[in-house]
Structure 1
Amino acid sequence: MTVSAVAQQNPGHALSWYAATANDKQVRPSLQESLSADVCIVGAGFTGISAALQLSEKGYKVVVLEAQRIGFGASGRNGGQIVNGYSRDLETIENRYGPEKARRLALMSREGGNLIRQRVLTYGIDCDLRHGVFFAAFTAKQVREFERIKAGCESYGLNGMEIVAPQEIGHYVKSKRYVGGMIDRLGGHIHPLNLVLGEAAAAEQLGARVFEHSRAIRLSLKGKPVAVTESGQVEAQYLLICGNGYLGDLVPSITERMMPVSSQIMATEPLDPALIKRLLPSDYCVEDANFVLDYYRRTSDSRLLYGGGIGYGGQDPLNLTAIIRPNMVRTFPELANVRIDYAWSGNFALTVTRMPQVGHLADNVYFSHGDSGHGVTTTHLLGKILGEAVAGHAERFDVWASLPSLPFPGGRALRVPLTALGAWWYGLRDRLGI
């Protein structure tokens, strides 16, 4: 499907390979009435839909309001990598928050990936699920960092990671750029838009109602919360705010503590199946160890999907392929002349701590945002935990809500330049190998 065909056949989505190959292209209606529900959810990405499915399975009457389309934001645009854990390793988490919280978070760290697999099996979701992640190291220092991370996981009983020696790299990726790495056999990759669409359809089959093009423009949080759109409103017993990097200014107290950050992805033309299998023989997805990292994988139709780059504040470069293609060619010189069929970007939400921001604005108003680049698995976990809190089981929610949520130094005015300066420094260290 061409880019123009994507715009016509699946309107409202980014012009991505995901939108072109979505199993479900139906446009849900917008909210045109006043409704009551047990739970109203703002945002139909992974967090909101995970919560909607969790609650619908328990018999709750759920309404989801989405400003654009299901999976419009990061949930339908990301690299599709099932990476276990969080954006900070367990040793760092223990040093910050203490051993007990680290233990509790470690127990949950693989639940998001397991939940994805369970739902794919339970509801028959066709999202090209594959198993395994290869983390690639450019330097001996990065290999030592992988060894430290592996040891930290194992100290909490989390096994399944293996260090990859130089002579074994070719089992996972045929590139001369790397000196070693680590695999996680419990990771994997999926078609993220088809995953969230499949989960949304499962929630709808259980009675949930999902409204697209229904942006919440005002929230009333007193008593029974009310979410107001341009053409309707929903009054509910509970309200879950799950807008993440696309929340805008609906709740300034949330958005001032996170920053939208864009990442860019492109998809090649379909390659000779023998070539793509030679480049990525195990069909594991790959993520390198640099601060501004590259990530890539095979697709079901033999394309290479390659992502990287970063735009603090959610700014997109004028030429996406000019940012990503040089790295792809350095990784795989064989692809210097291949055609790029799709290129897109999407925003994730970054926090100062690089840990999700979870809490409540009232006794019956909960939120979760800021997965900081580890959203595929963490959003599924936290959506489930929001559902648990609604059902009166807030023990795990309270662990997350107790983590400090810090403002960006310099506030909104300086958060982008200061964060970009820090990223430049760490990127320089990567280039120098220090």
Structure 2
Amino acid sequence: MVIIGAGFTGVSAALDLATAGLKVVILEANEVGAGASGRNGGLACSGWRHDQKWLEARMGREDARRLWLLAEDAKSDLLSRMQDFHIDADWTPGQIFAAHTPRLMQDLDEDADFMARAYGHERPKRLDREEITQALGTSAYHGGWRDPSAGHIHPLKLLYGLMQAALNAKANLHEYSRVTEVGSDRGKHFAKTRTGRVLADHILLCGDGYLDGIEPDVEARVLPIGSFVLATEPLPKDSAILPEHDSVMDTRFVVNYWRKTADRRLIFGGGEKYTPNWPIDVESFVRRNLVKIYPELRSIQVTHAWGGALGITPTRLPYLHQVRPGLLSASGYSGQGVVLAPYFGRILAACVLSQHRDYDVLARMPVPHFPGGRALRWPLLTAAMSWYALRDKLP
């Protein structure tokens, strides 16, 4: 059993497969946490990148309902695994979805009404303009909703905890073992590295935005984009910013998201790059979005600033697929990977063990090829994102 990628998906799959008694080899191009699983902002979100009405329109009521329940299960499963394996990942409940225009606040209200009426979902707490100003410590937003079942974690602590559990179950980890090719040979699959080949009955592709050149089918649907984050020095104890330690994401298509760490640093992510030309000065690139929301932080010291690749799909839905018998892939979480990626790893493991948990509905999610093929997908995506960025500025 070969797993390519030691992020949330791969490590979670390895844990279940090794626990079931399979011999598991994890091949990681760099080190554990070097990709999106260790570089993300730590927000553990509810649902998908699209609301349930969008999913119902494209997949039907039954499949959309199954996806909602699956996302809820993924959230519960994440908390259960942290408890079962004694992983202290600084879990903090509470997440605010902040509307940056009155029109989008109306959309949030309508979605809350729909979820209560059609799904029996308990309404989150609605925040009017005064309440959200107090909750966030900024007057930049018109209102929002607070989801008590979502929250935030320290992502690297979570990943290291899952990795240690997988190692305890006798999984084998090989860091700095970049896979350059996968294929088949005499009835076996193989993963080729610079130093040799590993043969297996099954291979799981779990590298998300870092699988360049490995499998054309996945690469046609999952595109790596640059995402960037900074961490400030600790905020004063009496700071008005996030007094209840909620995490936040806003309604912009190019989303801003932030949270406070256990030692009161502000983790802030904002801005994306859709070409391989990433900013040289990541701190300045992200800070310009930060100060639009918190102008008083214009001169705060930034102690860390970093970027990395995350995998997106044209519909912003994950891509779970059996590429061919024995070769399975899960990727393209489009910013929702903290909750979804570990659960998708468990689904991949279940497929290998012939349990097929939820595979059918996930495989039906609409995830087409990016238009333009490999040569034109970057410029076409850049043009599309520029249009959405313009829409973010409209009232």
TM-score when normalising by structure 1: 0.87
What code does the residue aligned with 1:271 have?
Answer: L
Map of 1:188 onto structure 2: 151
Task: Go from structure 1 to structure 2 and tell me whether the alpha carbon gap of 1:54 and 1:159 turns closer, same or farther (over 3 Å shift).
Answer: farther
SS of equivalent residue, structure 1 residue 85 = coil
1:227 aligns with 2:199: no
Map of 1:418 onto structure 2: 380
Distance 1:166 1:432 in 2: 19
Tell me if the contact between 2:271 and 2:289 (Cα under 8 Å) persists in the aligned partners.
Answer: no
Distance 2:216 2:21 in 1: 32
For residues 135-187 of structure 1, give each alpha carbon's deviation from its aligned partner in whole angstroms, at most 9, with x where no partner exists. Answer: 11122111112123323433234335232122321452110101100111111
Map of 1:161 onto structure 2: 124
Count of residues in correspondence between the two structures: 393
Match of 1:124 among 83, 86, 90: 86
SS of equivalent residue, structure 1 residue 172 = helix
1:106 aligns with 2:60: no
Tell me if the contact between 1:357 and 1:370 (Cα under 8 Å) persists in the aligned partners.
Answer: yes
Match of 1:324 among 256, 280, 286: 286
Tell me if the contact between 2:27 and 2:177 (Cα under 8 Å) persists in the aligned partners.
Answer: yes
Distance 1:214 1:160 in 2: 47
Map of 1:348 onto structure 2: 310
Structure 1 outlier segments of 4+, above 4 Å: none
Moved more, 42-51 or 222-231: 222-231
For residues 286-340 of structure 1, give each alpha carbon's deviation from its aligned partner in whole angstroms, at most 9, with x where no partner exists. Answer: 1111111111110122211111101013431122122221221222222222111
Distance 1:367 1:311 in 2: 25
1:265 aligns with 2:247: no
1:372 aligns with 2:372: no
What percentage of residue pairs aligned between the two structures are identical? Answer: 38
Moved more, 231-240 or 383-392: 231-240
1:89 aligns with 2:33: no
Gaps of 5+ in 1: 1-38
Map of 2:139 onto structure 1: 176
The 5 A counterparts of 1:42-61 are: 42-61=4-23
Distance 1:119 1:59 in 2: 19
Tell me if the contact between 1:160 and 1:185 (Cα under 8 Å) persists in the aligned partners.
Answer: no
C-alpha displacement of 1:209:
1.1
Match of 1:406 among 368, 379, 390: 368
Distance 1:152 1:316 in 2: 40
1:287 aligns with 2:254: no
Tell me if the contact between 2:225 and 2:312 (Cα under 8 Å) persists in the aligned partners.
Answer: yes
TM-score when normalising by structure 2: 0.95
Task: Go from structure 1 to structure 2 and tell me whether the alpha carbon gap of 1:237 and 1:123 turns closer, same or farther (over 3 Å shift).
Answer: same
Task: Go from structure 1 to structure 2 and tell me whether the alpha carbon gap of 1:205 and 1:409 turns closer, same or farther (over 3 Å shift).
Answer: same
What code does the residue aligned with 2:345 have?
Answer: G
SS of equivalent residue, structure 2 residue 54 = helix
SS of equivalent residue, structure 1 residue 41 = strand
For residues 343-386 of structure 1, give each alpha carbon's deviation from its aligned partner in whole angstroms, at most 9, with x where no partner exists. Answer: 11111111112111111122221111111121111112211111
Gaps of 5+ in 2: none
Map of 1:5 onto structure 2: none
What code does the residue aligned with 1:270 have?
Answer: P
Distance 1:317 1:282 in 2: 33
What code does the residue aligned with 2:217 have?
Answer: S
For residues 200-232 of structure 1, give each alpha carbon's deviation from its aligned partner in whole angstroms, at most 9, with x where no partner exists. Answer: 001111111111001112222352212222224
SS of equivalent residue, structure 1 residue 419 = helix
Distance 2:122 2:197 in 1: 47
Tell me if the contact between 2:231 and 2:305 (Cα under 8 Å) persists in the aligned partners.
Answer: yes
SS of equivalent residue, structure 1 residue 182 = strand
Tell me if the contact between 2:224 and 2:310 (Cα under 8 Å) persists in the aligned partners.
Answer: yes
